Amino acid sequence: MANHPSAKKRHRRAEKRTVVNHARLSRIRTFLKRVEAAIAAGDKEQAVAAFRLAQPELMRGVSKGLVHRNTSARTLSRLSARIKALQAPAAAP
C-alpha cells in the first residue's frame, strides 16, 4: 500500500477511474451487442438504428482512452459491412 500522501491520492483516483472506465466499457459492449443481435435477427432497419447509436459510444471510448482508435475503426467497419450485406437481395433466377 502507498505510504506518501501523493501516492495515496493517486491510488484513490485510480480506483475511481477504474469504476468509471468499467462502466463506459460495459456501455460500449452493450451497444455493440444490440447491433450484433439485430444483424443476427436479419432486421436491417433495427441494425442500422442500433449502429447509429453505437458509433458515437465507441468514438467516445476512443476519446476517453478506453479503446484504441484502430480497434474502433475496425469494429465499425466490420459491423457496417455486415449490415450492408443484409440489404443485398438474393440473386433471382
pLDDT, position 87:
73
Question: What mean pLDDT value characterizes the chain?
Answer: 92
Cα-flanking dihedrals φ and ψ of residue 52, to 5°? -65, -30
DSSP label of 68? -
3-class secondary-structure state, position 49 = helix
Is the pLDDT assigned to residue 91 strictly greater than 60?
A: no
Long-range contacts, stretch 39-42, CB < 8 angstroms, 24+ apart: 39/79, 39/82, 39/83, 39/86, 42/86
What digits encode the pLDDT tens for the residues 26-81?
A: 999 999 999 999 999 999 999 999 999 999 999 999 999 999 999 999 999 999 99
Domain 7-85's class? mainly alpha
| 23-to-1, 19, 27, 35 alpha-carbon distances in Å | 25, 6, 6, 19
